[in-house]
Structure 1
């Protein structure tokens, strides 16, 4: 095999989409979810990585854009992989960070061009509102937060 320059070699590697979100709760330990206007199910707040961004920066930017909240990306709670599907040709690597507690929910300013609603839900209600592919993030994030660990959710889990 001939020698490849670094640029050529990297071009041969598989690629993936990358997204990140924040587990945010209120003072009653309810989970904050958002309802995108372009999907039929609810989501943990967050979004996809832009060029030059790191996952923790995605969280800070997306929460500011979607909800008008200024947060820091706390501990990494969950890393999971959504396999390719008919709408997505590559796997999606997703990072869920601890966004802490929303002290004043009235400070939330919904980005109405992207989101229809937000709400705080019990852990069980939150899990039930997410798509089947994303639902495991909620109980995993809860366990990770409680145990102060990071959980990896492989594709086959």
Structure 2
């Protein structure tokens, strides 16, 4: 196979990374973007030369104004998108935020309107189905103590919700 033909077949997915933060009740921190009609988690696209972990840390600092420790990988989700192409999304464990971190949150004004800790049921109500599946699978992986591989926010072989 000619090098150019081989290169043409290789995937070039966009990568994004985010962090899940929790409160003492196990609820997940979500943010309300000013430019979307659904809630998100802190995170964003990985920049050239940047690792997914460092992208998550950078995005949390930019969006929330805090630098809490971001820990282990919770989930990797392969999420093809007709409009934007293939994506590989990483979710990391931000753990339980301390009171100091909570009091220090300063939302990025041009992107975010608010934040809240939400229950699993509220995650499904506040965001789009594929993101809700990804968040809930990552939270479950956190409880199980092992990362999970997902496709479209689901474990391969599971039935669509």
Could you tell me the TM-score, scaled by structure 2's length? 0.86
Query: Which position in structure 2 is the counterpart of 1:20?
Result: 17
Q: In 2, distance between residues paired with 1:146 and 1:35?
A: 25
8 Å CA contact 2:68–2:97 kept in 1: the answer is no
1:124-149 per-residue CA deviation (whole Å, 9 max, x = no partner) reads 21232121121101221121111101
| Alpha-carbon shift at residue 119 of structure 1 (Å) | 0.8
8 Å CA contact 1:34–1:42 kept in 2: the answer is yes
Query: Which position in structure 2 is the counterpart of 1:97?
Result: 92
Where in structure 2 are there 5+ consecutive unaligned residues? Answer: none
Query: Which position in structure 1 is the counterpart of 2:134?
Result: 137
SS at match of 1:133: helix
Q: In 2, distance between residues paired with 1:40 and 1:106?
A: 26
Query: Which position in structure 1 is the counterpart of 2:122?
Result: 125
> Relative to total residues, which structure has the larger helix share, 1 or 2?
2
Q: In 2, distance between residues paired with 1:11 and 1:73?
A: 35
SS at match of 2:123: helix
Query: Which position in structure 1 is the counterpart of 2:112?
Result: 115
Query: Which position in structure 1 is the counterpart of 2:30?
Result: 33
Where in structure 1 are there 5+ consecutive unaligned residues? Answer: none
Which 4+ runs in 1 deviate beyond 6 A?
none
- Which stretch shows the higher mean deviation, 38-47 or 147-156? 147-156
Q: In 1, distance between residues paired with 2:64 and 2:131?
A: 20
| Alpha-carbon shift at residue 63 of structure 1 (Å) | 0.3
1:6-52 per-residue CA deviation (whole Å, 9 max, x = no partner) reads xx954652211100110101123221001111111001111101111
Q: In 1, distance between residues paired with 2:93 and 2:122?
A: 19
